[in-house]
Amino acid sequence: MDVTDALQCIPAIDLRDGRCVRLLRGEFASETVYGDPVAQARAYGEAGASMLHVVDLDAARTGVAANRAVVLEMVAAAGIPVQYGGGIREESDAVDALEAGIARVVLGTAAVERPELACALAGRFPGRVVVGLDHRRIVGADGSRPRREVAVRGWVKGGGLELGEALDRFATAPLAAVVVTDITRDGTLGGPDLAGYEELLLSTTLGIVASGGVGGPADLAALAALESGGRRLAGVVVGRAMLDGRMTLGEAVAACAR
């Protein structure tokens, strides 16, 4: 992206059993419940958010869009674009979501297991398809440099691919962005993987959206200032830090200014 552009701050709402929740490091047993997702979506829209990032955690594991009706209520309540992922495995799933009023669909498992599907959808809907690459760092027994292995199916299984290898598959696709989540940092409030994102900016021309570990305005300012090879991050997904009241949306947006 152009170095003069602001870092887009995208509030995240994760759904489980129709409720707004957050997990710690992707563990379903470590769940915090925040209540009504429709009310939360409305609050973010009224506070001036430019977009919401919504994930159906149930669908991510099962492939069944159990919370789709709730998502569409959120779209109506927020009054702003929503990018939605979780359980979108087939072309028909993505098309149904886009035609129902969802601005962008996020393909995670499907993109890793069937990259040709993600590329075809991006060609059919330019700028409306996002690839979500969620990864864990795995240290080899010999102490070699950690592998960033992509995870699939609600982060329950390893995808068998290194993050950079997965990213390369979409180099020429007209994606809206790639959301890259460090699972080991997600929900921890312990800070984002600045070095990892710096490396990614050098390795691709795709727009990279950071996700995982943001704990407050200082983390957002650090992500906004990050520059590598003349490129900067396109956006950042923020979940627990705002839901826990550690910062307001206004404070987050201000911290994202270049």
Is 93 marked active-site? Answer: no
Active site residue 168: no
118: burial class by Cβ within 10 Å (0-12, 13-18, 19+)? buried
- Active-site entry in 14, 56, 193, 219: 14
Dihedral (C-alpha) 156, 52, 229, 220: value to the nearest 10 degrees? Answer: -90
Distance from C-alpha of 192 to C-alpha of 241, rounded to nearest angstrom: 12
Lookup: tokens for 23? 């997990």
Q: How far apart are CA 47 and CA 185, in angstroms?
A: 27
Match 């398809």 to its residue by tokens. Answer: 129
Catalytic residue among 93, 134, 182, 219: 134
Stretch (H or E) spanning 84 = strand 82-85
Q: Which residues are catalytic?
A: 14, 134
